[in-house]
Structures are given as structure tokens and as C-alpha cells.
């Protein structure tokens, strides 16, 4: 195509891209919309033509035609202070954002609790979003599960309500906690406590169950249990309570790294050494694991990958692409200096 250098470059159209790539208009449309039913060689030709022509899809028109907002919402039913203090949420958002970069979808975030769910429900059902991601849900968070009949929805971890029908991405929290506890037992520890997470959340429930199975199999006592809320301060309080009992104690499995870091504060505050006096294992492998001294042995939780897989599953649901209802990601135990 010849262009007058003195005049403005014409706006590229779908038809122009199709002509340059040597394919049909429908093929270009499928590539632009990210559909998987295009031969990779043809898709590459279309992408080259798009770059050569500086073609920009008319996203507003496409959204109107599809009756979509091209937006997904991440709901976190927690307090704002907790969300911004916990590296778990930042990693989930990073994973979601990475995946959505190559799609037409943008991400917004709602930090909300069940105290006033009507405002959030109204927003979600008002045509503002195409699908919902839910992270850190509690047993009382029924609003989000009930919306799954109206909007595509994917959870981080199995929801305690409606789990048989819900789509979710998780790790095997129970098995990972079992493995972490076995690490302590196999290193010769005989009095293994746990600081469990909230018992209205699946990770808190499942990680406690994994610890309990391991100590039962080893013939150890099951009484050394305190519960926190996945925050560092709750880990300190729980560890202080364990120490105040006066029971023999030489190891602790904490339900996440923040609570493990809190346990460090209590242990070292009593003049005890880690791991010589008390060994500690955490869960998540986040920034808390390497900011404490000695460095924390912990379960590596692939949180960024979890966020990405949640986003992929949700986009597939929105686009009508078959997808697994449940995805379980692998974990591993990272051995450092606290055992």
C-alpha cells in the first residue's frame, strides 16, 4: 500500500490486517480475541501484520458486541491493614496481573468484609465486571459463593460453602503441613507444638489437620495447640501461651511464616535458642522466612503461580473455554537454619 508521506497514516482496520497477513477477517478476529483455535503459524503472521500496521483493536466495540466490561475483580474479605501487611496478597496480585497482561482484561480490587456486603454485591452485579476472584475467604463469607450463579468466580483454596460446585486453585495444605511436621519429628524432636491459622478458613483447618496426623502417627501428644490469625503479632501471643504452659516443648510448626516470625520473637525473648532449644518450621516461603535469624525452614507455597492460575481459570470461564474445576499446585519444603 502506497502512502503519501505528507499526509497522516490511515487508521488500520481488521480488513487491512487480514489482507497483509493473507488470512480471513475471521482469523484475525480470533487472534485479536485470544481464541486458541488458530494455527500457530497463521497467528504469528497476523501478529506481525498487527505490528506492521500499528493496528489497535476497537476494544469498546468489541466489549459492546460481547456484552463484556473486560474487567475482573479481586475480592479480599479482610481489613485493609491486614491486606497491605501480608506479602501473600501482593504475590497473588502479581500472579493475576502477569497473566492478565496478555489479555483484554483489566483488574480491579475490592477489599471488603461481610459486615456490609450489599455495596459489593451491587457493584459486581451491575455489569461492571465479567468475573470474580476471591482470596482469603472465611466460613462466614457466603455472599461471594452465592454470586457464583450470576458471575464466573474462582477461589484461592476450596471454599467452605458450595465447594462441590466452585472453581478453585489451591495447594494440598494438609499434606504440606504433614511433611513440615514430619521434618521436625524426623530431626529428633519429641514435643512438637503448632500455631494454627484461623479455623474458619480452609488453610487454617487443613494445616492443623496435617500437623495432627503427623504427631498422631509418631505417637506424640496433640495438646500443644494454639491458634493465631496469620499475623505476626498473633504468632507471638500464641508462642507465649505455649511457653507459659510449662509443658516440654522442643519444636513448633506455624501455619504461616508471619506467625513463625512472631514465634521467633517470643522464643528469643525468653532467652531460648532456635533451633538448639526450639526448632521452627513455617508455611509460605515469603519475605518473613528470610528476614528472621536464623533463616526459617518453611513450605514453599507457589503464590504467584496460584494467582496466575486463578486468572487463567477465570478467563477461560468467561470465554467459554473448558477448564478444570479444581487445580492443585505442588509445594516443597525449603530447608534453612531453623531446624
Torsion of CA 260, 261, 265, 270, to 10 degrees: 30
The listed CATH number (1.10.287.3510, 1.10.260.40, 3.90.1170.50, 3.30.43.10) that belongs to domain 14-57: 1.10.260.40
Q: What is the pTM of this model?
A: 0.78
What cell does 122 get? 451491587
Distance CA 337, CA 298 (A): 10
Superfamily of domain 173-302: Response regulator (3.40.50.2300)
Distance CA 88, CA 197 (A): 14
Distance CA 138, CA 113 (A): 10
Domain 71-169+303-329 has CATH 3.40.640.10: no
pLDDT tens track, the chain, 339 positions: 444 444 455 677 878 889 999 998 878 877 876 666 788 888 889 889 888 887 776 544 545 455 678 999 999 888 788 888 889 999 999 999 999 998 989 999 988 755 666 777 778 877 889 999 999 877 665 555 567 677 899 999 988 766 678 899 999 999 999 999 999 999 999 999 999 999 999 999 999 999 999 999 999 988 999 999 999 999 999 999 999 999 999 999 999 999 999 999 999 999 999 999 999 999 999 999 999 999 999 999 999 999 999 999 999 999 999 999 999 999 999 999 999
Distance CA 105, CA 116 (A): 27
**14-57 and 71-169+303-329 have identical folds:** no
Reference 46, options 60, 63, 32, 59; nearest CA is 32
Residues in a beta bridge with 333: 299
Domain ranges of the chain: 14-57, 71-169+303-329, 173-302
- CA 173 to chain centroid, in Å, comes to 13
Distance CA 260, CA 263 (A): 5
- pLDDT tens digits for range 290-304: 999 999 999 999 999
Distance CA 208, CA 227 (A): 9
Amino acid at each position: 500500500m502506497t502512502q503519501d508521506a505528507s499526509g497522516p497514516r490511515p487508521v488500520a482496520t481488521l480488513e487491512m490486517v487480514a489482507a497483509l497477513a493473507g488470512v480471513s477477517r475471521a482469523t484475525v478476529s480470533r487472534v485479536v480475541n485470544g481464541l486458541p483455535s488458530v494455527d500457530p503459524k497463521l497467528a504469528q503472521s497476523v501478529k506481525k501484520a498487527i505490528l506492521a500496521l500499528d493496528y489497535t483493536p476497537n476494544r469498546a466495540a468489541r466489549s459492546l458486541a460481547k456484552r463484556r466490561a473486560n474487567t475482573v475483580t479481586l475480592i479480599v474479605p479482610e481489613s485493609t491493614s491486614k491486606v497491605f501487611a501480608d506479602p501473600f496478597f501482593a504475590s497473588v496480585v502479581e500472579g493475576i496481573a502477569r497473566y492478565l497482561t496478555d489479555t483484554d482484561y483489566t483488574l480491579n480490587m475490592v477489599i471488603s468484609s461481610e459486615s456490609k456486603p450489599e455495596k459489593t454485591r451491587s457493584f459486581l452485579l451491575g455489569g461492571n465486571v465479567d468475573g470474580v476472584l476471591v482470596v482469603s475467604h472465611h466460613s462466614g463469607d457466603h455472599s461471594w459463593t452465592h454470586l457464583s450463579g450470576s458471575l464466573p468466580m474462582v477461589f484461592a483454596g476450596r471454599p467452605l460453602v458450595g465447594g462441590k460446585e466452585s472453581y478453585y486453585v489451591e495447594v494440598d495444605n494438609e499434606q504440606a503441613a504433614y511433611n513440615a511436621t514430619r521434618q521436625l519429628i524426623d530431626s529428633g524432636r519429641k514435643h512438637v507444638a503448632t500455631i494454627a491459622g484461623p479455623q474458619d478458613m480452609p488453610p487454617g483447618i487443613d494445616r492443623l489437620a496435617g500437623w495432627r496426623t503427623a504427631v498422631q502417627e509418631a505417637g506424640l501428644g496433640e495438646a500443644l495447640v494454639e491458634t493465631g490469625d496469620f499475623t505476626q503479632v498473633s504468632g507471638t501471643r500464641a508462642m507465649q501461651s505455649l511457653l507459659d504452659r510449662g509443658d516440654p516443648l522442643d519444636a513448633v510448626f506455624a501455619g504461616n511464616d508471619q506467625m513463625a516470625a512472631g514465634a521467633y520473637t517470643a522464643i528469643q525473648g525468653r532467652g531460648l535458642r532456635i533451633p538448639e532449644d526450639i526448632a521452627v518450621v513455617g508455611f509460605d516461603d515469603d519475605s518473613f522466612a528470610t528476614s528472621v535469624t536464623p533463616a526459617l525452614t518453611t513450605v514453599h507455597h507457589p503464590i504467584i503461580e496460584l494467582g496466575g492460575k486463578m486468572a487463567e481459570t477465570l478467563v477461560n470461564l468467561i470465554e467459554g473455554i473448558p477448564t478444570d474445576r479444581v487445580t492443585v499446585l505442588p509445594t516443597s519444603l525449603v530447608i534453612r537454619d531453623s531446624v
